[in-house]
Structure 1
């Protein structure tokens, strides 16, 4: 195993999974999403875990999922939007090839409508999204080697920008 090729971080709905799949195809490796790992392990959705057990319980599960994925996976890895809130997780990302996929609130509205099953955006989604980003933006930047804006770009254009930002060659 050679280690993770690319770790994607950023807010919910930014396209980490979509871009991650494309990146993995271009790099000739596997894609893994820690939110999907959690759903498979827990047998229920992220939203259900939030509702049933609360955010702290979800964050503990998420922290373990990220730790496991970083240790086991050797392809492209997408992390849940809030995973960078944990200091231990941020420390694990040091030295990893991390790309922060960014977008503004208007792009988030266009992509997700901010009305999907997003437990942290249940009431006044625009305001809550802005507040989440105010609290997280600096953490995404802290762990990232590169920032790639996704606003107005297709997934293919974002994928190319990530490859260029990390100076990666396609397989």
Structure 2
């Protein structure tokens, strides 16, 4: 298969980077984060890009970063929370092993406190998070092959759930083998 072995999507704070790194380790492959690619290329944090150049400029950078990562990276790829807003990005993800990591607002509050430097959560973070999820959820579910909830789960448990849902096997010597009784949803 061409493209990443797993693509993680979902809202900010859901744990895409943490889970992605665990998946990459267990699959014996590399990890890449499209937001980290943007930060490295621009030499400044995403929040600063939003302030200095605006959201439309950031979304253009994001679209290109995702396009390049999907074309170049065969491992685990995590996308920024808003990447699925772009129609061409959604089309690019068609047919790939996309996993929507989801959580409820209470879990988001517990994890990130919703008071971090996230540009789209600057005013009334709890309400903004809920509005963002309402606006984005259908895009997430449209492109995802599987949905994995992260509520009340450790990153390790989420990684296992992703592997099971996609029917992926661990690299020998990495972590414990997947449950052979699970249905292959890939």
Given the two structures, how large is their TM-score scaled by the length of structure 2?
Answer: 0.91
Structure-to-structure mapping, 1:14-163, within 5 angstroms: 14-163=14-163
Unaligned runs of 5+ in 2: 172-186
Structure with the largest fraction of helix: 1
Rounded Cα–Cα distance in structure 2 between residues aligned with 1:52 and 1:104: 31
Write out per-residue CA displacement over residues 47-97 of structure 1, whole angstroms, 9 at most, x where no aligned residue.
000011110000000000000000000100000000000000000000100
Give the alignment's Cα RMSD to 1 decimal: 0.8
**Alpha-carbon displacement from aligned partner over 1:96-137 (angstroms, at most 9, x marks no partner):** 000000000000000000001100000000000000000000
Cα distance between partner residues in 1 of 2:168 and 2:109: 31
Which structure has more RCO (C-alpha within 8 Å, separation ≥ 6)? 1
Size of the aligned set, in residue pairs, is 171
Q: Distance between the aligned counterparts of 1:159 and 1:97, measured in 2?
A: 14
Number of the residue aligned with 2:10? 10
Work out the CA distance in 2 between the residues paired with 1:106 and 1:137: 16
TM (norm. structure 1) is 0.99
Give, in whole Å, the separation in 2 of the partners of 1:124 and 1:21.
31
Q: For 1:18 and 1:27, locate their aligned partners in 2 and report how far apart those are by CA, in whole Å.
A: 14
CA distance in 1, matches of 2:100, 2:54: 26
**Separation in 1, partners of 2:152, 2:51:** 33
Distance 2:148 2:168 in 1: 14
Shift of 1:3: 2.7
Q: Which runs of 4+ in 1 moved over 2 A?
A: none
